[in-house]
């Protein structure tokens, strides 16, 4: 295959996904909910290993105070992340060195937070050892490490297919182009399935092959075509990280703190009979197998996993990221079943979050406001975690918003909004209130760009988008990309966007909006 570093394919760029779980506010929430203090009360020092498209790193550097660093070996990633950092003027330190080179990089600070998404499962053993050494050498005592990795047993059966695709691309495809090699490998695997391969009698493996064939080649190459592709049990990963004095804290998934939301009653009974912590955590992965885990670790020999805080942190702050009427009409799914968000506790919490122009509310404010209704503190917190998991609420920054962060977010969002006119690769905007990214559909991003360019009413927003679509569809680039026409009711979408304006204003991602704009329709 073409352009590899130690078995890692660098020929094609990865996607432009944003990962909210590695934002400082999400990390603070995950730590505090496990009786763990956040490692920094001042200027956070933050490092991302393997930043891919650089969206998460740039959003966090623009939106949240601190010194942000990142490294990636793909030159396309480096160039793209540098361009975004220049747009935001965020002071982000964008590097293009290997993990081993980073160990000897001059003037590298001690970090409060280090994050790594995917790379642990895709890089060689020597690179994994370099990550462990970086954690040992560069993460402060009490510092946090967030690791996203391929999990077992979910991925166990996929290993033969991954090895087939990789082997074919390396020696049997007849091409050095990674995308063409992947497509040739998929064709081989499909031919084997159609010829009666017993491996594909397992519907799950056949579904993986279908997914690989339909997904973006760039994503599949990064997620399946690495020489050192290897899923692991959490217990095995944690054992390696203990070499750097890291202890497992818990999953970054908000729902994973509540076993009753994840397992049926007979599963809960089985888990209750397992005393050993690691055996119980491994058993959970067999009861609820998933492709990817995202876990939090702390550098501390004293921390004991599974600890619950004696008291909740009343200073934790939360904000609604969808219109109130929409949130109250929604259902959310958990592994244990659906939950209506119009029910007790949820309805009252949503009303509070939607009050006072959607401004963020502290946990303490909500506990005090709901005390007359006899809601227990932990029931309120649990409901908030469910709302966060559903993408309806976000943790917000604990401190007041710095003016320079507002400006950095505005500059970065301008670039994201401009790009929305021609593609849908970047699907978030940076909020100095959450300190991270907020998902915003493309049509609403274009409406926001219309606001940025002086449009004031739903009619003007719809006209702006109509012109933008006509221009895009008339370009040769649109035909090359094979984009389908954007078939939507612009007037209807513009009216819904109008209901979102108070939310965008509260999140400080409403560009150039006069004070009365959110109350003027026409």
Percentage of residues in the chain with pLDDT exceeding 70? 91
* Predicted confidence (pLDDT) per residue in 144-163, tens digit: 999 999 999 999 989 998 89
Mean of pLDDT values over 332-348: 87
What pLDDT sits at residue 519? Answer: 33
Residues 6+ apart with CB under 8 A from 424: 442
Helix H or strand E encompassing 45: strand 44-49
What pLDDT sits at residue 447? Answer: 93
- How far apart are the C-alpha atoms of 47 and 429, rounded to whole Å? 21
At 4, the pLDDT band (50, 70, 90 cuts) reads low
pTM of the model: 0.91
At 482, the pLDDT band (50, 70, 90 cuts) reads very low
Q: Is the pLDDT of residue 66 over 90?
A: yes
What pLDDT sits at residue 514? Answer: 37
Residue count of the chain, please give it: 522
8, 73 Cβ separation under 8 angstroms: yes
Q: Is the pLDDT of residue 307 over 90?
A: no
What pLDDT sits at residue 153? Answer: 94
233, 156 Cβ separation under 8 angstroms: no
* Predicted confidence (pLDDT) per residue in 189-242, tens digit: 899 999 999 998 888 888 888 888 888 887 788 778 888 889 999 999 999 999
Q: Is the pLDDT of residue 520 over 70?
A: no
Q: Is the pLDDT of residue 309 over 60?
A: yes
Q: Collapsing DSSP states into helix, strand and coil, what is residue 159?
A: helix
Mean of pLDDT values over 502-516: 76
56, 22 Cβ separation under 8 angstroms: yes
The CATH architecture that domain 4-153+231-299 belongs to is 3-Layer(aba) Sandwich (3.40)
- How far apart are the C-alpha atoms of 132 and 106, rounded to whole Å? 19
Q: Please state, rounded to an integer, the average pLDDT across all residues of the chain.
A: 88
At 171, the pLDDT band (50, 70, 90 cuts) reads confident
Q: Is the pLDDT of residue 477 over 50?
A: no
């Amino acid at each position: 295959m073409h352009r590899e570093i130690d078995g890692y394919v660098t020929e094609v760029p990865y996607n432009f996904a944003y990962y909210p779980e590695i934002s400082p506010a999400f990390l603070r929430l995950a730590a505090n909910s496990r009786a763990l203090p956040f490692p920094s009360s001042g200027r956070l020092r933050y490092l991302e290993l393997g930043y891919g498209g650089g969206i998460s790193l740039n959003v966090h550097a623009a939106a949240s105070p601190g010194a942000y660093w990142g490294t990636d070996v793909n030159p396309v990633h480096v160039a793209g992340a540098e361009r975004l950092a220049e747009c935001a003027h965020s002071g982000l330190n964008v590097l293009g060195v290997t993990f081993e080179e980073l160990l000897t990089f001059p003037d590298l600070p001690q970090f409060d937070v280090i994050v790594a998404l995917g790379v642990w499962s895709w890089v060689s053993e020597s690179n994994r050892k370099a990550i462990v050494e970086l954690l040992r050498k560069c993460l402060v005592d009490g510092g946090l490490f967030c690791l996203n990795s391929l999990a077992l047993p979910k991925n166990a059966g996929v290993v033969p297919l991954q090895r087939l695709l990789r082997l074919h691309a390396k020696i049997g495809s007849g091409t050095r182009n990674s995308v063409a090699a992947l497509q040739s490998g998929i064709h081989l695997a499909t031919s084997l399935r159609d010829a009666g391969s017993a491996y594909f009698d397992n519907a799950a493996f056949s579904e993986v092959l279908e997914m690989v064939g339909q997904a973006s080649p760039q994503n599949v190459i990064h997620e399946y075509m690495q020489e050192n592709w290897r899923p692991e049990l959490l217990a095995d990963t944690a054992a390696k990280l203990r070499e750097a004095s890291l202890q497992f804290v818990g999953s970054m998934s908000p729902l994973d703190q509540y076993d009753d939301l994840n397992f049926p009653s007979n599963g809960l009974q089985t888990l209750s009979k397992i005393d050993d912590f690691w055996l119980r955590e491994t058993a959970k992965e067999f009861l609820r197998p998933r492709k990817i885990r995202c876990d939090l670790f702390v550098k501390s020999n004293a921390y004991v996993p599974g600890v619950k805080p004696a008291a909740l942190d009343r200073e934790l702050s939360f904000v609604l990221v969808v219109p109130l009427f929409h949130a109250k009409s929604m259902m959310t799914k958990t592994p244990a079943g659906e939950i209506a968000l119009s029910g007790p506790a949820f309805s009252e919490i949503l009303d509070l979050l939607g009050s006072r122009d959607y401004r963020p509310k502290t946990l303490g404010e909500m506990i005090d406001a709901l005390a007359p209704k006899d809601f227990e503190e932990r029931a309120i917190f649990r409901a908030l975690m469910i709302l966060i998991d559903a993408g309806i609420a976000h943790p917000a920054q604990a401190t007041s918003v710095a003016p320079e962060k507002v400006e950095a977010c505005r500059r970065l969002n301008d670039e994201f909004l401009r790009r929305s006119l021609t593609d849908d690769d970047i699907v978030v905007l940076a909020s100095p209130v959450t300190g991270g990214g907020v998902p915003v559909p493309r049509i609403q991003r274009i409406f926001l760009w219309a606001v940025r360019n002086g449009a004031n009413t739903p009619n003007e927003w719809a006209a702006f988008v109509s012109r933008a679509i006509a221009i895009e569809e008339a370009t040769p680039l649109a035909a090359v990309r094979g984009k389908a026409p954007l078939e939507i009711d612009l007037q209807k979408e513009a009216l819904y966007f109008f209901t979102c304006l108070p939310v965008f204003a509260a999140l400080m991602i409403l560009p150039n909006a006069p004070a009365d704009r959110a109350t003027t329709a026409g």
